[in-house]
Amino acid sequence: MSPVRLVLRETAEETLQACAEAVAAGLRAASAPHFVLAGGQTPRGVYTRLAAAAKDADAPAWHDVEFWFGDERCVGPDHPKSNFHLAQETLLRPLRIPGGHIHRMLGELGAEEGARRYAARIRARLGSQPQFTVVLIGLGPEGHTLSLFPESEGLLADDLAVAALVPTPPRERISLTPTALGAAERIFLLATGSEKRQALRAALGATRPDPGIPTSFLRGRIETVVFCDRGALPEPPTEVAP
């Protein structure tokens, strides 16, 4: 597994730009790229920047990229809380991604059935040890990533996707697991804003997998990079775990 590298920028806007550039570079380097999208609102700025740069000379060949989801709320695909809906509006539709390259979690089926079907879809396309090219994850103020909160049973699950019941609505979710991401090439963690500071301190300081720190279970084989702004940086800065 790769060591953790910290990329610090002064502002959230600069952090989003740095993350978008790294995502594009990671996808561009792969012959058959598979991109796992983060949920929530944090990655919105990354997605809009990727879409805006689609015609740049160094942009990935977007129609070769297959898109996956790290987690999903158990709502319909047009629901404003749907992670798919956000990605569709900000990234997938602007890039005109073919439908066959978009692997949506079926949140409307409920968490258990949606997780079962998503795990089966990953196995059918990528096998039982999928090697995703780039995985983008976020960080909640209490330390959750994907839909895996501290002490979540999903952190130790053997399956690729699990049903999750989380503290905030919509409570029923589908989430990938560390098992699904164990062979991922690059994992990029994005954290901006002072409300993420304590969680980021724990994430950066973790030296081994700790159920109280969900991000401690996730390391990329080639790169593990934390992108943060000055607001999210712990004060004084914590040591980054090797």
Check whether 16 has a pLDDT greater than 80.
Answer: yes
Please identify which residue in the block is written with the tokens 């569709």: 88
Average pLDDT over residues 54-83: 97
Residue at 99 is within a domain? yes
For position 163, which CATH number holds?
Answer: 3.40.50.1360
Residue at 233 is within a domain? no
Please tell me the distance from the alpha carbon of residue 144 to that of residue 124, in angstroms, as a whole number: 28
Please tell me the distance from the alpha carbon of residue 121 to that of residue 208, in angstroms, as a whole number: 30
Residue at 74 is within a domain? yes
Residue at 185 is within a domain? yes
Residue 179 structural domain:
4-222
Count the domains in the chain: 1
Q: Determine the residue type at 172.
A: E
Residue at 18 is within a domain? yes
Residue at 238 is within a domain? no
Determine how β-strand 66-69 pairs with β-strand 134-137.
unpaired
Beta bridge partners of 165: 172
Please identify which residue in the block is written with the tokens 């695909």: 77
Please tell me the distance from the alpha carbon of residue 100 to that of residue 66, in angstroms, as a whole number: 8
Residue at 69 is within a domain? yes
Residue at 97 is within a domain? yes
The total of other beta-carbon atoms located within 10 Å of residue 44's CB is 16
Read off the pLDDT of residues 126-165 as tens digits, 9 standing for 90 and up: 999 999 999 999 999 999 999 999 999 999 999 999 999 9
Determine how β-strand 134-137 pairs with β-strand 186-191.
parallel
Give the pLDDT of residue 240. Answer: 74
Residue 181: C-alpha distances to residues 111, 155, 174 (Å): 19, 11, 15
Give just the sign of the alpha carbon dihedral 204, 23, 31, 94: positive
